[in-house]
């Protein structure tokens, strides 16, 4: 059974447009997968292949964001190396787990994965602020690196398996572990997300479940959206952008629950 039907001009235009919007949202507020992933399924791509294709396309588009933050990547080298290795290992494990998940099971999981990602997106900022209320710098026993590594491993496995919402999860975790400069957190988050999504592509490549025509179209659209929409969206209050993404996320989650 083919992983994707023949690509029509209409579907190609639809995928380009949604990837353009998703790339812009990811560059500003996150949540682009709430639009791009369902669109791939709507165009007839099997769910697991849609997840792999979406991951690959937005990973390419996200490289530009990671590069833009490289000067702010001011993190201890030892911590950086450990978190990078953990992210690669977790992302690889999660993507392999996806390949060993049957199409029917993954299809049934989609509404719950979207629900989890929606909850993370909507309440992620509140959770992050709650964590910031703990003054860990004054603690007599500062958080150990093992806790950060454990949290990052769990996030990475989830990211390799599905991926939506990992940026917000990482920002919340990094806030709790004495990394409070927002630019440094965004830089580290972008780099680690690139590690997770990038390594996840390797098993997808060997399994042959990436729809390459759709990936190329979406990668171009996502990269352009990340550049052009981000400049426009920054002029709009972030709360409005986040509310828009939240509405889309709730709508997509509800749709897949009804459809399942």
pLDDT in tens, 115-142: 988 887 788 667 666 655 655 444 444 4
Across 35-85, where does the E strand assignment appear? none
**Is residue 190's pLDDT more than 60?**
yes
Residue with the bigger pLDDT between 51 and 181: it is 51
DSSP symbols for 179-220:
---HHHHHHHHHHHHHHHHHHHHHHHHHHT---HHHHHHHHH
For the segment 7-32, the average pLDDT, to the nearest whole number, is: 86
pLDDT for residue 167: 77
- Residue 50 phi, psi dihedral angles, 5° rounding: -65, -40
Determine, yes or no, domain membership for 179. Answer: yes
Gap between the Cα atoms of 205 and 184, Å rounded: 32
pLDDT for residue 231: 64
pLDDT for residue 157: 95
pLDDT for residue 38: 92
219 pLDDT band, cuts 50/70/90, is: very high
pLDDT for residue 24: 79
Determine, yes or no, domain membership for 48. Answer: yes
Gap between the Cα atoms of 155 and 157, Å rounded: 6
Length, in residues, of the chain: 260
Of 21, 8, 88, residue with least CA distance to 61: 21
158 pLDDT band, cuts 50/70/90, is: very high
**Is residue 104's pLDDT more than 50?**
yes
Determine, yes or no, domain membership for 4. Answer: no
- Those residues with Cβ within 8 angstroms of residue 27's Cβ, 6 or more apart along the chain or in another chain: 65, 225, 226, 227, 229, 230, 233
Which 3-state string (H, E, C) describes 87-152?
A: HHHHHHHHHHHHHCCCHHHHHHHHHHHHHHHHHHHHHHHHHHHHHHCCCHHHCCCCCCHHHHHHHH
For the segment 110-118, the average pLDDT, to the nearest whole number, is: 88
225 pLDDT band, cuts 50/70/90, is: confident
Gap between the Cα atoms of 33 and 197, Å rounded: 13
* Residue-number span of the structural domain to which 196 is assigned: 9-259
**Is residue 110's pLDDT more than 60?**
yes
What's the total number of domains in the chain? Answer: 1
Gap between the Cα atoms of 238 and 185, Å rounded: 18
For the segment 129-158, the average pLDDT, to the nearest whole number, is: 70
For the segment 199-215, the average pLDDT, to the nearest whole number, is: 94
Determine, yes or no, domain membership for 41. Answer: yes
Determine, yes or no, domain membership for 1. Answer: no
Of the listed ranges 57-61, 154-158, 249-253, the least confidently predicted one is 57-61
């Amino acid at each position: 059974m083919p992983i994707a039907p023949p690509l029509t001009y209409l579907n190609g235009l639809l995928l380009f447009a949604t990837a353009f919007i998703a790339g812009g949202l990811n560059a500003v507020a996150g949540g682009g997968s709430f639009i791009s992933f369902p669109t791939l399924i709507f165009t007839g791509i099997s769910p697991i292949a849609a997840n792999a294709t979406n991951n690959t396309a937005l990973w390419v588009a996200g490289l530009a964001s990671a590069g833009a933050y490289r000067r702010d990547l001011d993190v201890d080298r030892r911590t950086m190396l450990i978190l990078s290795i953990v992210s690669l290992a977790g992302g690889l494990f999660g993507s392999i787990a996806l390949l060993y998940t049957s199409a029917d099971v993954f299809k049934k999981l989609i509404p719950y994965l979207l629900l989890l990602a929606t909850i993370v997106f909507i309440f992620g900022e509140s959770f992050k602020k709650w964590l910031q209320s703990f003054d860990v710098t004054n603690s007599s026993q500062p958080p150990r690196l093992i806790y950060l590594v454990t949290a990052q491993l769990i996030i990475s496995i989830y990211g390799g398996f599905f991926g939506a919402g990992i940026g917000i999860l990482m920002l919340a975790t990094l806030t709790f572990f004495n990394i409070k400069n927002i630019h440094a957190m965004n830089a580290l988050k972008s780099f680690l997300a690139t590690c997770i999504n990038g390594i996840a592509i390797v098993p997808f490549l060997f399994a042959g479940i990436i729809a390459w025509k759709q990936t190329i179209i979406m990668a171009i659209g996502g990269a352009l959206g990340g550049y052009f929409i981000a400049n426009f969206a920054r002029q709009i209050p972030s709360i409005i952008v986040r509310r828009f993404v939240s509405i889309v996320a709730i709508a997509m989650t509800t749709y897949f629950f009804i459809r399942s």
